[in-house]
Amino acid sequence: MLTVDFTRFPLAAGDRVLDLGCGAGRHAFECYRRGAQVVALDRNGEEIREVAKWFAAMKEAGEAPAGATATAMEGDALNLPFPDESFDVVIISEVMEHIPDDKGVLAEMVRVLKPGGRIAITVPRYGPEKVCWTLSDAYHEVEGGHIRIYKADELLGKIRGAGLKPYGTHHAHALHSPYWWLKCAFGVDNDKALPVRAYHKLLVWDIMKKPAVTRVAEQLLNPVVGKSFVAYATKPHLPKAAAAAVNDLSKAEA
């Protein structure tokens, strides 16, 4: 289940991609299939080991085209182990709501992104997320849980403040909002409640079969109750004079 829409976020074979806070690796796997040179990074070592296993299985099965590469590694989003301007593309999906220093994460992403590079950021949408917080404290008051709810204008303002230029937004996963409302209403850890189990079966069926009826329904509902807010931005090229000044400063410091 992808949150980033690759029709709005073009990816070329050979692009060097960082999936920051990759989790289980869903976006990293898609980038690998599209021929990118992917680095999947997360602070959770257990998840990274699983992602590495899946990368190996995909290579063995021939799912990635020639020239594509994939690396899974542990790392800190606030101290990325990469030189400046290392990546053509950065994806950070459902991560920033967990991190106290979100401006610091944005600064690190901008640092490792090449001028002209593209970035995709996804976070829980304000309205559906607010319902979850209202229904259940346990939903967000857990270690490593959500510490903030972004309004769209707030996130876009932080993106611009980091020096990026937003070029598009949309909402995703409308069918998942009611599921999480049910989870919060019946208990976040209570998977046995009948409404929760029934709706989960619906979601699994939708993900596996992709029937037209649910695809159309979700497209219509995404602007209203889409669970995720997605923003796309580019890192502008510096004007020649500014770029020269930066290069001169770097040489002086060296």
Please give the full DSSP string across 191-202, using - where no structure is assigned. --SHHHHHHHHH
pLDDT in tens, 212-234: 999 999 999 999 999 999 999 99
pLDDT in tens, 110-160: 999 999 999 999 999 999 999 999 999 999 988 888 999 999 999 999 999
| Pairwise CA distance, residues 222 & 220, whole Å | 6
- The helix/strand/coil state of 253 is helix
State the Cα angle at 54 between 190 and 92, rounded to 5°: 70
Bridge-based pairing of strands 165-172 and 228-234 is antiparallel
| Pairwise CA distance, residues 70 & 36, whole Å | 8
- The helix/strand/coil state of 231 is strand
Residue 143 is predicted with a pLDDT of 81
| Pairwise CA distance, residues 238 & 232, whole Å | 19
* pLDDT above 70 for 189: yes
Contacts of 139 (CB under 8 A, 6+ apart): 132, 133, 145, 146, 180, 183, 184, 188
| Pairwise CA distance, residues 4 & 28, whole Å | 11
% residues pLDDT > 90 (the chain): 89
Please tell me the pTM assigned to this model: 0.91
* pLDDT above 70 for 209: yes
- The helix/strand/coil state of 112 is helix
Please give the full DSSP string across 159-227, using - where no structure is assigned. HHHTT-EEEEEEEE-TTHHHHHHHHHHH-TT---SHHHHHHHHHHHHHHHH--HHHHHHHHHHHHHH-S
